[in-house]
């Protein structure tokens, strides 16, 4: 947090430095345009030497009077402070420039004996207010731009959340996969067609009801996952070797709803046409606040291919749940595993050991 604040402060300092450098150089050019070089040097010296006065006046108004009085609608105090600053800095600038700068540097300004008269103080003060108004206008424009960007980010996040909610609520890929399999079963006159249709309808209905619940208990999602495993075995007409472990209180697992359901669904669809469906071990650990899934192959020759297929499957899941959970991929003797934790959760305890994180780009095809 401290490093983040330091970076913000550094950006702000650089932005303010650029503003004041641009002001000094810009007004030096405006005041000296068409004049000899010594005028440029004279006005540059003027703006550099009077810069502390202009900065003090500007920040006093922008960072003290405006937030403490103007924004809180304490009008009398704001007007009083503004007029005092107006007069004080105008007098200081007149004294410094007429008694020192105009006498030592070539600027083309005429020296006046009555430069501190009320008319000169007011006129000079009005000229000095220009930089204050420019600074406030720049800050207002920046704040408006930031607020507009934040609003767009919120709207984009809300749209993404609605899209993800609709996707997990209906589970379109699972439904299309089930329809395709049921159609194939019907063409082959399988006696399990009616049961497959009923189970698909029942599971989809329960998924939609679960998504409408205000409090989504993770134990309910575990029940849905187990029904999904039964359905997938029926649709594939061959049961998969799946082991399910639950330790501790599953409600302590803080992950987005339907992430385990989506993960298991992805694995089944990914390996549907594979020569060998891997053994799948699913663990829900309430003590460590995590989910884990292992894909194991009994044939050693499938090791590297299985690792690649596992990574491809989980990378698809990351596209949906990015920025909300943390994935850790590990190599296993005959396959791979993934551990899923909430971004807010702590690293895994010693039971599972440190994960050997894999760079997806090292195995994913170009």
Q: What is the 3-state secondary structure (H, E, C) of 234-248?
A: HHHCCCCCEEEEEEC
Tell the residue number behind the tokens 């095809």, with chain if given: 365
Q: Which comes out higher in pLDDT, residue 340 or 213?
A: 340
* 179 plus 117 within the same structural domain: no
Check whether 281 has a pLDDT greater than 70. yes
**Whole-angstrom Cα distance, residue 171 to residue 167?**
6
Check whether 249 has a pLDDT greater than 80. yes
* Residue 247 bridge partners (DSSP): 285
* 80 plus 210 within the same structural domain: no
* 146 plus 175 within the same structural domain: no
* 52 plus 195 within the same structural domain: no
Range of the domain at 216: 171-362
Does the residue 38 lie in any domain? Answer: yes
**Whole-angstrom Cα distance, residue 361 to residue 366?**
8
* 152 plus 226 within the same structural domain: no
* 131 plus 38 within the same structural domain: yes
Residue 304: pLDDT band (50, 70, 90) is: low
The reported pLDDT for the residue numbered 67 is 84
Does the residue 103 lie in any domain? Answer: yes
Residue 20: pLDDT band (50, 70, 90) is: confident
* 184 plus 141 within the same structural domain: no
* 189 plus 319 within the same structural domain: yes
- Averaged pLDDT, 19-29: 86
Check whether 301 has a pLDDT greater than 60. no
The reported pLDDT for the residue numbered 362 is 35
Which of 104, 135, 160 marks a domain boundary? Answer: 160
Tell the residue number behind the tokens 């200081």, with chain if given: 92
With a CB cutoff of 8 Å and minimum separation 6, the contacts of 49 are 96, 100, 101
Lowest mean pLDDT among 53-62, 214-223, 275-284, 302-311: 302-311
Tell the residue number behind the tokens 């004279």, with chain if given: 42
What pTM does this model have? 0.50
Q: CATH number for the domain including 230?
A: 3.30.565
Lowest mean pLDDT among 5-14, 160-169, 183-192: 160-169
Which of 102, 132, 160 marks a domain boundary? Answer: 160
DSSP conformation class of 342: E
Which of 113, 136, 160 marks a domain boundary? Answer: 160
Strand order in the sheet with 279-285: 242-247, 279-285, 290-296, 335-342, 325-332
The reported pLDDT for the residue numbered 14 is 84
* 255 plus 330 within the same structural domain: yes
* 22 plus 154 within the same structural domain: yes
Does the residue 221 lie in any domain? Answer: yes
The reported pLDDT for the residue numbered 296 is 83
* 128 plus 208 within the same structural domain: no
pLDDT > 70 in the chain, percent: 81
pLDDT digits (tens, 9 = 90+) for 113-168: 777 888 888 888 887 888 888 888 888 888 788 777 777 776 676 656 555 555 55
Does the residue 30 lie in any domain? Answer: yes
Does the residue 165 lie in any domain? Answer: no
**Whole-angstrom Cα distance, residue 242 to residue 229?**
8
Does the residue 331 lie in any domain? Answer: yes
* 129 plus 175 within the same structural domain: no
Does the residue 111 lie in any domain? Answer: yes
Kindly tell me the sign of the dihedral angle through the C-alpha atoms of 334, 262, 344, 153.
positive
Does the residue 237 lie in any domain? Answer: yes
Domain count, the chain: 2
């Amino acid at each position: 947090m401290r490093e983040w604040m330091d970076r913000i402060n550094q950006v702000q300092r650089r932005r303010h430095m650029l503003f004041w450098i641009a002001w000094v150089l810009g007004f030096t050019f405006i005041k000296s345009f068409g004049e000899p070089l010594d005028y440029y040097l004279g006005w540059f010296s003027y703006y550099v030497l009077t810069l502390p006065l202009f900065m003090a006046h500007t920040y006093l108004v922008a960072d003290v009077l405006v937030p403490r009085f103007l924004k809180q609608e304490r009008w009398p105090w704001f007007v009083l402070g503004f007029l005092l600053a107006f007069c004080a800095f105008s007098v200081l600038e007149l004294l410094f420039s007429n008694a020192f700068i105009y006498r030592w540097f070539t600027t083309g300004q005429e020296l006046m004996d009555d430069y501190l008269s009320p008319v000169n103080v007011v006129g000079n003060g009005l000229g000095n207010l220009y930089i204050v108004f420019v600074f406030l206008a720049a800050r207002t424009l920046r704040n408006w731009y930031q607020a507009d960007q934040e609003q767009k980010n919120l709207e984009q996040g809300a749209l993404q959340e609605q899209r993800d909610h609709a996707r997990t609520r209906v589970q379109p890929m699972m439904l299309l996969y089930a329809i395709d399999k049921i159609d194939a079963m019907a063409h082959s006159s399988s006696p399990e067609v009616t049961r497959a249709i009923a189970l698909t309808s029942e599971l989809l209905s329960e998924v939609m009801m679960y998504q409408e619940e205000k409090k989504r208990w993770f134990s309910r999602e575990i029940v849905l996952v187990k029904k999904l495993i039964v359905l997938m075995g029926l649709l594939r007409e061959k049961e998969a070797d799946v082991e399910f472990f639950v330790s501790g209180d599953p409600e302590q697992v803080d992950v987005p709803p339907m992430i385990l359901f989506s993960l298991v669904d992805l694995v089944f669809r990914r390996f549907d046409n594979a020569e060998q469906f891997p053994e799948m071990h699913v663990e829900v650990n309430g003590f460590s606040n995590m989910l884990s899934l292992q894909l194991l192959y009994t044939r050693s020759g499938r090791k590297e291919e299985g690792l690649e297929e596992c990574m491809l499957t989980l990378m698809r899941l990351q596209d949906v749940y990015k920025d909300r959970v943390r994935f850790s991929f590990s190599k296993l003797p005959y396959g791979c595993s993934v551990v899923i934790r909430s971004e807010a959760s702590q690293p895994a305890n010693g039971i599972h050991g440190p994960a050997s994180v894999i760079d997806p780009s090292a195995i994913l095809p170009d």
